Amino acid sequence: MKIRKILCCCISGMGSSFIVEMNLKKVLDKLNMSDVEVNHAGIYDAFPGAADLYICSSDVYEECLKAGDTIPLDRLTDINELETKLSAYVESIR
């Protein structure tokens, strides 16, 4: 499976999801995956087919999981956690 689109989600889609989006773009560049489309949104935009992967805070994980493959983050601004979890996910789908 190829990841084409990732949606970073938070409750409202305004603040923390945007921070995750900015960090995710850095991680994707580092992993040579800069061709992946990245957006941020509220959990109301997390529905099946909206993205190939959803990244969110742990508190909205169950809601995003209903939409598809989801990576929960314990510390939204921790770029190392994001890179570690995304790398593990990418390895798991190969």
Tens digit of each residue's pLDDT, the chain (94 residues):
789 999 999 988 788 999 999 999 999 999 999 899 999 999 999 999 999 999 999 999 999 999 999 999 999 899 999 999 999 999 999 8
* Among 84, 8, 19, 15, residue whose Cα is nearest residue 52: 8
- Write down the pLDDT at residue 73: 97
Residue 5 to residue 72: CA distance in whole angstroms? 17
Residues making up the chain, counted from first to last: 94
Can you tell me which residue has the tokens 């909206």? 50
Residue 41 to residue 80: CA distance in whole angstroms? 22
**39 forms bridges with which residues in the sheet?**
7
Element (H, E) at 65: helix 61-65
Whether residue 79 contacts residue 23, with contact meaning beta carbons closer than 8 Å, is answered with yes
What pTM value is reported for the model?
0.95
